[in-house]
Amino acid sequence: MRYTLHWGRDNARRIATVAELDGLLSFLTTVRGRDGAPHGVDLLPAGATEGGLQLGLGHPQRAFAIWLDGAAGAGRGSYGIDDDLEAWPEPIGFDCGIEVVDFKPAWTRVTPEQAIRAATEYMVTGAKPTCLRFDANV
């Protein structure tokens, strides 16, 4: 199955292999978005307009992963959480394309490595990643 990775206001790339995904996500962890913020990215099946996995990458110690349930309608998401990871002490801003959005500490209880692992698992299975606990009530 092919996927599309979207980031910034107008950037998108079709992804066909895990190696391509890992390479692009690794690159995005090293470059800054709007106002110097880390990137928020959307990973969707090619041609899809909703659902998928949203990730925040580029902060040296924290990330976010949101499972977007396309079947539940727009705006329905669950935040990935590592229960062994304490909340970050302050919000972290991520470039989400249209604007930089501050993510609450409870939303960034994921390491960058875990976010990339979640993306890889999603690409391989097409299902919600199991490497994190997802909670819609955070």
pLDDT at 71 over 70: no
Looking at the DSSP bridge assignments, the partners of residue 97 are: none
Burial of 115 (0-12, 13-18, 19+ CB in 10 A): buried
pLDDT at 72 over 60: no
Query: Which pLDDT score is estimated for 9?
Result: 85
65 with 77: CB under 8 angstroms?
Answer: no
Euclidean distance between CA atoms 49 and 83, whole angstroms: 31
Query: Which pLDDT score is estimated for 78?
Result: 95
Looking at the DSSP bridge assignments, the partners of residue 77 are: 68
pLDDT in tens, 80-105: 999 999 999 999 999 998 899 999 99
Euclidean distance between CA atoms 28 and 82, whole angstroms: 22
123 with 3: CB under 8 angstroms?
Answer: yes
* Tokens representing residue 127 in the block: 């299902």
pLDDT in tens, 21-55: 999 999 999 999 999 999 999 999 998 988 999 99
37 with 55: CB under 8 angstroms?
Answer: no
